[in-house]
């Protein structure tokens, strides 16, 4: 069975995840009932969710309010998405959510950007969108600071700026639509790797751009998690950057295998990186020998999970991220919110959201994919 976007099952899954996480005070767990291994860190609460904690609460209790599709705005806004690049399937998928929201709100949607993730190219696109006087720019940054002056100029012209996926400097935007808790995403990838390796062995991180705000924020929490008692025998030997380029990421993986003969695991917190690393591990005959986890698109990782190259990885629904980002920008354009902490607005089928500290709006807990459930996802 494939899960259709926005289906009741997806909503229920989010609610269950939210309940398990909040009640257990836990990190990101595998699908309920699939595994119950300990985490390496002595202070970890993850894995402690009791079956009772997974009881389904009313939607409103989980902070999710069902809404009619037309709720949330008066429509008509001209909103442009500027992702890290326009060929990455993650952003192609997120754009579907942006278009869906625009259709519901009667607004305009366009996605612009380069074929290569490049901060310089993003600045050029911001300048062009500013000249075009769009109502809002929704941007995923390849560099938080390099984009800031151009975005500040756009804001000075009255254009709403919202970041999604990968934040920009806070004074360069009104709100940031984060896919999930940055801390949860960072720590949980180390927790998964620790379980896969029995808390022992050399690991490497294969990241995106060295200036990617989201990957760097997750990596900071990964390093903090690794510094906890319990991880003494797991060593992060290097962080490599594949620049969200499939070939560069593949080559970086092959180089890792040569440079670190005792390497036992790779964490890749990027959909491009994890797919390229899985391909490289198979081609080099190291699948299964080296554990690989991180963030990936189920449709790109299905084969690697089914043949055992990857045991477990995570992601949120990029369609929902794009949908929420469009609704957020629309709400600011229409004056419903300004991006100040405590404001609430309704994002169509996703329900109501509250702006958090620093203008952050969090989509929700991610999904964890394994061989047992990956066929239920289609994005």
User: Interface with ligand RAM by CB under 6 A: which residues?
Assistant: 84, 88, 90, 140, 165-166, 208, 212, 214, 244, 270-272, 295
Virtual CA dihedral for 324, 328, 330, 333, nearest 10 degrees?
-170
| Nearest distance, CB of residue 317 and ligand RAM, angstroms | 12
| Nearest distance, CB of residue 369 and ligand RAM, angstroms | 13
Instruction: Write down how long the chain is.
Output: 379
Nearest CA to 317 among 142, 60, 94?
94
Closer by beta carbon to ligand RAM, 214 or else 309:
214
Closer by beta carbon to ligand RAM, 345 or else 379:
379
In the chain, what is the greatest distance between 2 CA atoms, to the nearest angstrom? 59
* 359 neighbors 45 (Cβ within 8 angstroms): no
* 272 neighbors 239 (Cβ within 8 angstroms): no
| Nearest distance, CB of residue 71 and ligand RAM, angstroms | 28
Closer by beta carbon to ligand RAM, 243 or else 343:
243
Show the CA angle centred on residue 334, arms to residues 86 and 349, nearest 5°: 65
Number of other CB atoms surrounding residue 157 within 10 Å: 10
| Nearest distance, CB of residue 148 and ligand RAM, angstroms | 18
SS (H, E, C) 10-76: HHHHHHHHHHHHHHHCCCCCCCCCCCCCCCCCCCCCCCCCCHHHHCCCCHHHHCCCCCCCCCCCCCC
| Nearest distance, CB of residue 212 and ligand RAM, angstroms | 6
| Nearest distance, CB of residue 222 and ligand RAM, angstroms | 14
Closer by beta carbon to ligand RAM, 104 or else 244:
244
Closer by beta carbon to ligand RAM, 174 or else 207:
207
| Nearest distance, CB of residue 92 and ligand RAM, angstroms | 10
Closer by beta carbon to ligand RAM, 44 or else 137:
137
* 163 neighbors 173 (Cβ within 8 angstroms): yes
Nearest CA to 211 among 151, 182, 169, 162?
169
Q: Which residue is nearest to ligand RAM (CB)?
A: 90
Distance CA 159, CA 176 (A): 15
| Nearest distance, CB of residue 295 and ligand RAM, angstroms | 4
Closer by beta carbon to ligand RAM, 19 or else 207:
207
Closer by beta carbon to ligand RAM, 322 or else 339:
322
């Amino acid at each position: 069975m494939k899960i259709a976007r926005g289906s009741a099952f997806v909503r229920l899954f989010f609610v269950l995840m939210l309940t398990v996480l909040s009640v257990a005070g836990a990190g990101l767990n595998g699908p309920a009932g699939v595994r119950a291994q300990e985490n390496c860190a002595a202070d970890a609460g993850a894995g402690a969710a009791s079956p009772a904690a997974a009881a389904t609460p009313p939607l409103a209790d989980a902070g999710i309010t069902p809404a009619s599709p037309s709720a949330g705005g008066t429509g008509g806004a001209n909103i442009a998405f500027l992702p890290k690049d326009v060929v990455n399937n993650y952003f192609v998928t997120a754009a579907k959510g942006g278009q869906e929201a625009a259709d519901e709100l009667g607004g305009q949607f366009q996605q612009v950007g380069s074929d290569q993730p490049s901060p310089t190219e993003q600045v050029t696109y911001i300048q062009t969108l500013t000249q075009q006087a769009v109502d809002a720019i929704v941007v995923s940054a390849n560099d938080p600071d390099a984009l800031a002056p151009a975005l500040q100029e756009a804001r000075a012209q009255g254009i709403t700026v919202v970041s999604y996926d990968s934040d920009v400097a806070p004074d360069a935007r009104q709100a940031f639509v984060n896919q999930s808790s940055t801390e949860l995403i960072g720590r949980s990838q180390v927790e998964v790797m620790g379980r896969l390796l029995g808390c022992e062995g050399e690991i490497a991180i294969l990241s995106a751009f060295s200036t990617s705000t989201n990957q760097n924020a997750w990596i900071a929490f990964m390093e903090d998690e690794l510094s906890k008692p319990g991880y003494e025998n797991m060593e992060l030997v290097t962080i490599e950057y594949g620049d969200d380029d499939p070939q560069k990421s593949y080559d970086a993986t092959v180089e890792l295998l040569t440079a670190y003969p005792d390497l036992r695991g790779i964490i890749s917190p990027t959909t491009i990186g994890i797919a390229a690393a899985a391909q490289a591990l198979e081609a080099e005959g190291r699948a299964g020998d080296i554990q690989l986890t991180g963030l990936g698109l189920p449709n790109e990782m299905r084969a690697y999970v089914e043949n055992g190259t990857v045991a477990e990885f995570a992601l949120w629904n990029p369609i929902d991220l794009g949908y929420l980002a469009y609704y957020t920008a629309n709400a600011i354009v229409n004056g419903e919110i300004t991006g100040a902490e405590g404001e609430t607005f309704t994002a169509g089928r996703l329900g109501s959201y509250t702006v958090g500290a620093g203008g952050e709006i969090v989509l929700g807990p991610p999904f964890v994919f394994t061989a047992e459930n990956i066929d239920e996802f289609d994005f």
